[in-house]
Amino acid sequence: MDATKKGIGKNLEEKIEHDLDVPKETFANVASHLPFANLAKKGNDTFVIEVDLPGVSKDDIELIVEDNILTVKAARKMKKEVKKDDYYLCESNFGIISRSFVLPEGIDLEKVDAKYENGKLIITLEKEESRKAKKLSIK
């Protein structure tokens, strides 16, 4: 292969590698703005989802269940102002954040409990009574 073709091949490889890095960086940027969540199963009948939402007001959180998918949406509105004699600083950060969870089958939507404290949303889900494990007696 002559030097010209080697140069074209190398440039093409570099372009492909660069073009693959762009989606990776974009995904990493989007993922860094998702709220952290912990999922736990307590016993056989209860599930707990904890979502970190620091800087979010309880009134700016919305929970939606549709087609067995629980979606947590929140509006983050932060504004920091510093007023001094010789300068003024105002920083603000606004945005909508959202996180969705596929619910296990048989969750009783009437018994979903959600509470918000210290920047953490805690959602407790229970199985429907008919799906809960039952201890049977032996005769």
Buried b / exposed e over 41-50, threshold 16 CB at 10 Å, is eeeebebebe
**pTM for the full model?**
0.63
Alpha helices in the chain (DSSP H): 3-32
pLDDT for res 63: 93
pLDDT for res 54: 85
Q: Would you say the C-alpha torsion 65, 69, 70, 72 has a positive or negative sign?
A: negative
Running along the chain, 139 residues long, what does each successive block of 10 average in pLDDT? 52 59 52 69 85 89 91 86 87 83 86 92 87 81
Q: Is residue 139 part of a domain?
A: no
64 bridge partner residues: 71
**Owning domain of residue 13:** 1-32
* Spatial CB neighbours of 59, under 8 Å, sequence gap ≥ 6: none
Q: Is residue 137 part of a domain?
A: no
123 three-class SS = strand
pLDDT for res 3: 52
CATH of the domain at 85: 2.60.40.790
Query: Distance between CA 116 and CA 99 in Å, rounded?
Result: 16
Q: Is residue 70 part of a domain?
A: yes
pLDDT for res 120: 93
Radius of gyration of the chain (CA): 24
Residues 63 and 1 in one domain: no
Query: Distance between CA 69 and CA 16 in Å, rounded?
Result: 37
